Chains A and B, each alone.
Chain A
Amino acid sequence: MTNRRFAPAFSGNDQASLTRRLQAIDFAIQDTVLYLDAYPDDADALDYYRSLIEARAGLLAARSKEMPLTVYDNTGTDWDWVKAPWPWQPEAN
């Protein structure tokens, strides 16, 4: 793994777009995490991981305003956590 850079494939700031953007970057992170589990000394992979985490932070904040990702992200004035759509519903995808 050498000098990879994450190229976002999606744009948009509505809830569905933000979800899609988060899914994309989280998939990159998941794949990198599994790689790092197996190759924890790979400095390039670790750099890539750090760049992904940095890119994710802004995305998470934006998505959390529409719909919390985890119970730690319900930043709005309402308890949005229980509001539709749920992840398995077509409307959320």
Chain B
Amino acid sequence: MWTYDRKLQYPVKIKTPNHNLASIIISQLGGPDGELAASMRYLNQRYSMPYGEVTGILTDVGTEELAHLEMVGAILYQLTRDLSPDEIAGTPFATYFVDHTVGVYPVSASGQKARVTYDNIIRLCDDPDVLDPIRYLREREIVHYQRFGDALRIATDHMNEKNFYAINPSYDQ
């Protein structure tokens, strides 16, 4: 269980957008040695760890890496926030822009993939002690998917407002 703190671990306040810099930093987000990989590695190493101190460190460092992930996200966001699609086109950052600014569908879809993965686990698993929490997690994915549906509806409601990317007619004529 985690609780979100509505603050960065360390302030990020970037005045000048710079997509080239962003394209260099982005590997720290989801790259093979990025913050996300680090967090997952530490947090997943905890379970069979026999030493409480190390379990504590893995837990607390793994959690802190998530704070770092958010800081990298903030850095990337602030580095690219005022760039127009024209300014981004032709830069190394263009592919990231394409992947991450299309709206809530991809997020929603990843929840669906997680749910399908739980479906497969449930098919392969016959231990009720395992199935029970797995079913709970699968239920949560469904709830998340429902909330993403709500998010999509909210996004759609705002579609005619300025600066909304998904299928804003002013961009896709």
Contact = CB atoms under 8 A, between A and B. Distances in A.
B53 A87 contact: no
Contacts of A27: 9-10
Contact of A38 (B10, B13, B53): B53
Contact of B73 (A20, A37, A88): A88
B7 interface: yes
Q: Give the size range of B's interface with the partner.
A: 20 to 34
Contact of B57 (A37, A90, A93): A37
A88 B6 contact: no
B4 to A, nearest CB: 7
16 contacts: A23-B8, A26-B5, A26-B7, A26-B9, A34-B64, A38-B53, A70-B4, A87-B6, A87-B7, A88-B8, A88-B73, A88-B78, A90-B13, A92-B8, A93-B12, A93-B13
Interface of B: 3-15, 52-53, 56-57, 60-61, 64, 70, 73-74, 77-78
Given A92-B8, A93-B12, 9 more contacts: A23-B7, A30-B60, A30-B64, A40-B52, A81-B6, A87-B8, A89-B77, A90-B15, A93-B8
